[in-house]
Amino acid sequence: MPRSLHHIALGAHDVEGVAAFYRRVFGLPEVARHHLESGGLRSIWLASGETLLMIERTEEPTRQVSGVGAGPFLLAFSVTPDERAALEHELERAAAPIEERTLHSSYVRDPEGNRVAISHYPRS
């Protein structure tokens, strides 16, 4: 039986800022917040369909991947061809300029440099 993805986790220095980007641009609702014992924010979990996007605090240096990198290197959100232009405009307003376009996909960076796409690439 095929399994669906439970969650994808992104490390972030600014958990609130990265979560705000995905809430604002992609409409992902917040489902949970977790705090450190000291009271500081540890993570924010957002829902993307049945999959959670977990924004987790990290102190590790950021790594910016271009093209196809080793391991996870891209988050791609589904759009229809008609939605693409409007969402590109929203990304530009969110300080995420389009850095590359193909026939079916547009690519940007989130506030911490993770590569993100909006795509209507055919599934088959």
Residue 75 vs residues 38, 65, 117: alpha-carbon distances, Å = 31, 12, 6
Q: Is residue 102 part of a domain?
A: yes
CATH number of domain containing 85: 3.10.180.10
d(CA 93, CA 62): 23
Closest CA to 122 of 105, 106, 107: 105
Q: What is the pLDDT of residue 66?
A: 80
Question: Residue 18: is its pLDDT beyond 80?
Answer: yes
Q: Is residue 65 part of a domain?
A: no
Strands lying side by side in the sheet with 75-78: 75-78, 115-119, 105-109, 100-101
18, part of any domain: yes
Q: Could you tell me if residue 1 is inside a domain?
A: no
Mean pLDDT of 92-113: 96
Residue 53 lies in a domain: yes
pLDDT digits (tens, 9 = 90+) for 96-106: 999 999 999 99
pLDDT one-digit tens code per residue, 56-81? 999 998 887 887 777 788 999 999 99
Q: Give how many domains the chain has, as a whole number.
A: 1
Q: Which domain holds residue 90?
A: 7-59+72-119
What pTM did the predictor assign? 0.92
pLDDT interval class at 123 (50, 70, 90): confident
